[in-house]
Structure 1
Amino acid sequence: MLYADENSADELEAIHAQRLDVDLEMAEMNAAADAWHAVRDRGYCNHGSAAGHRSRPGQLICTAGCSTVFANDEDWYAQLDDPMANPVPLPGHPAHTPAAAAASQ
């Protein structure tokens, strides 16, 4: 929509600026996804989902593959933000099998 004090160049500039914003946002999301997948590719859990622990009220259990029990929401969020601060191996991941350990020596 054009207003009396605008011309088509203003509208075109706005469209280009919006496209640039979207491109930058997509690049940020792709970088975050790459980092997210790199954790799992290395064989560690990124704690992407958790549920309330049935037998321990207030605690959460990881449902993304490792079954780690977190003390509370804050503990889970801290691990979610930086899963490599305290890495938890994914059970059965090829990177953590005896054959992989022997091959790395």
Structure 2
Amino acid sequence: MYSDESSSDELEAIRTERLDIDLKMARMHAEADAWHAVRDRGYCNHGSAVGYRNPPVYEVQRLLKPGQLICTAGCSTIFHDDEDWYAQLDNPMANPVPLPAHTPTPARK
């Protein structure tokens, strides 16, 4: 604590920091709930992908051409480039891709 501060200034700063963290956590939980809702509805959220590589590290990379990516989150969609993957990652319901053999995840508490 500095000489020109009072304990109430310090407490206010602590409360403000806690509120900021609580708001960030609430936003993160809301984003996670939206993320899980896509999969719970039976659609891929394209949460992971691998790109073209020569020689391939993964068997699925043999399907790709330079610049392309393939979804490894369950649907095997091939994306034209990083920008295409990021666009569908940001909004998977803009062009929904059903997951094969979908089994809904249990409700979270």
Question: What TM-score do you get using the length of structure 2 for normalisation?
Answer: 0.83
State the match for 2:83 in structure 1.
74
Larger CA deviation: 51-60 vs 7-16: 51-60
Q: What displacement does 1:94 show?
A: 4.5
More helix by share: 1
Indicate whether 1:42 and 2:41 are aligned.
yes
Question: Which amino acid in the other structure matches residue 62 of structure 1?
Answer: C
- How far apart in 1 are the matches of 2:38 and 2:96? 9
Q: How many residues get paired?
A: 94
- How far apart in 2 are the matches of 1:32 and 1:94? 21
SS in 1 for 2:2: coil
- How far apart in 1 are the matches of 2:27 and 2:44? 22
Computed over aligned residues only, the root mean square deviation of the Cα atoms, in angstroms, reads: 1.1
Alignment deviations for residues 9-54 of structure 1 (CA, whole Å, 9 cap, x no partner): 0000000000000000000000000000000000000000110133
SS in 2 for 1:6: coil
Indicate whether 1:63 and 2:63 are aligned.
no
Question: Which amino acid in the other structure matches residue 80 of structure 1?
Answer: L
SS in 2 for 1:61: strand
Question: What TM-score do you get using the length of structure 1 for normalisation?
Answer: 0.86
Runs of at least 5 residues in structure 2 that lack an aligned partner in the other structure: 53-60, 105-109
